[in-house]
A = this chain, B = another copy of it.
Amino acid sequence: MSAMTATAAAPSTPSPALAPKGERTRQSILDRAVDLASLEGLQGLTIGRLAEELGMSKSGLFAHFGSKEELQIATIEAASQRYITEIFTEALRQPRGYPRLQAICDSWLSYIRRSVFPGGCFFAAASFEFDSRPGPVRDRVRQMMDDWMHALERSIRMAKDEGHLKDDVDPAQLAFELNSLFFGANFAFYLRDDQQAIERAERAVLTRLQALKK
Stretch of A1-9, A66-74, A175-183 contacting B (4+ beta carbons < 8 Å): A175-183
Interchain CB contact (< 8 A) of A41 among B129, B138, B185:
B129
Stretch of A86-94, A117-125, A158-166 contacting B (4+ beta carbons < 8 Å): A117-125
- Taking CB atoms, residues of chain B closer than 8 Å to A120 are 128, 131-132
A47 to chain B, nearest CB (A): 17
Given known pairs A39-B133, A119-B132, A131-B119, the reply for A145 and B191 (CB within 8 Å) is yes
- Taking CB atoms, residues of chain B closer than 8 Å to A185 are 180
**How many angstroms from the CA of A124 to the CA of B131 in the assembled complex?**
12
Interchain CB contact (< 8 A) of A187 among B131, B197, B200, B203:
B131
**How many angstroms from the CA of A141 to the CA of B191 in the assembled complex?**
9
Whether the Cβ atoms of B180 and A132 lie closer than 8 Å is no
Question: Size of chain A's interface in residues, with CB distance under 8 A?
Answer: 47
A76 to chain B, nearest CB (A): 13
* A51 contacts chain B at the CB level, 8 A cutoff: no
Please give the count of copies of this chain that the complex contains: 2
Most buried by B among A127, A138, A191, A201: A191
A127 to chain B, nearest CB (A): 5
- Taking CB atoms, residues of chain B closer than 8 Å to A203 are 173
Interchain CB contact (< 8 A) of A43 among B44, B124, B177, B183:
B44
A-B contact pairs, 22 of them (CB 8 A): A38-B132, A39-B133, A43-B44, A119-B131, A125-B128, A128-B128, A128-B187, A129-B129, A131-B191, A132-B190, A138-B191, A145-B187, A149-B192, A176-B184, A176-B197, A176-B200, A177-B200, A179-B187, A180-B201, A181-B184, A183-B184, A211-B211
